[in-house]
């Protein structure tokens, strides 16, 4: 049994021609409908531990939904995992993470992965 994802579109979903008529004139379609492949990040043991800590920081926000004590617990858990992340990352990686991604809304896991991608390490 073959497990995988076939990204080839069936013939009935493909556009028959490369130019589509619109009220503003004909619009050309790009040759490739899919995004280019992203460069895979190689995660060694140190980077895996950093990603696990970032996931734990994201999950630490769940108790914040509990009134009164949830916010205190979430802040404590997040600072605990941030100190672990500080120990795992190199000083250059940690400063890039704090400068660029720590205060940006969104998952902290993506910030750590983007830090690894920018550093190229």
Domain enclosing residue 50, as ranges = 46-119
Three-state SS at 20: strand
Number of domains in the chain: 1
Mean pLDDT for the stretch of residues 42-56: 92
**Is 31 inside any structural domain?**
no
**Could you give the C-alpha distances from 40 to 55, 90, 108, 114, 116, in angstroms and in order?**
19, 21, 19, 12, 11
Q: What is the DSSP letter of 108?
A: H
pLDDT at 5 over 50: no
Residue 11 included in any domain:
no
Domain contains 94 = yes
pLDDT digits (tens, 9 = 90+) for 13-42: 554 557 778 888 888 776 555 555 666 778
Residue 7 vs residue 17, higher pLDDT = 17
- For residue 53, being part of any structural domain is answered with yes
Cα–chain-centroid distance for residue 84? 20
Burial of 68 (0-12, 13-18, 19+ CB in 10 A): exposed
């Amino acid at each position: 049994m073959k497990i995988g994802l076939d990204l080839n579109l069936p013939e009935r979903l493909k556009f028959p021609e490369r130019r589509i008529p619109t009220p503003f004139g004909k619009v050309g379609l790009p040759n490739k409908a899919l995004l280019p492949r992203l460069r895979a990040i190689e995660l060694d043991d140190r980077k895996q531990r950093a990603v696990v800590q970032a996931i734990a920081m994201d999950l630490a926000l769940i108790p914040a939904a509990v009134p009164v004590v949830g916010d205190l617990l979430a802040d404590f858990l997040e600072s605990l995992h941030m100190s672990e992340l500080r120990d795992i990352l190199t000083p250059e990686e940690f400063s890039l993470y704090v400068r660029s991604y720590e205060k940006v809304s969104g998952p902290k896991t993506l910030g750590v992965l983007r830090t690894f991608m920018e550093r190229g390490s």
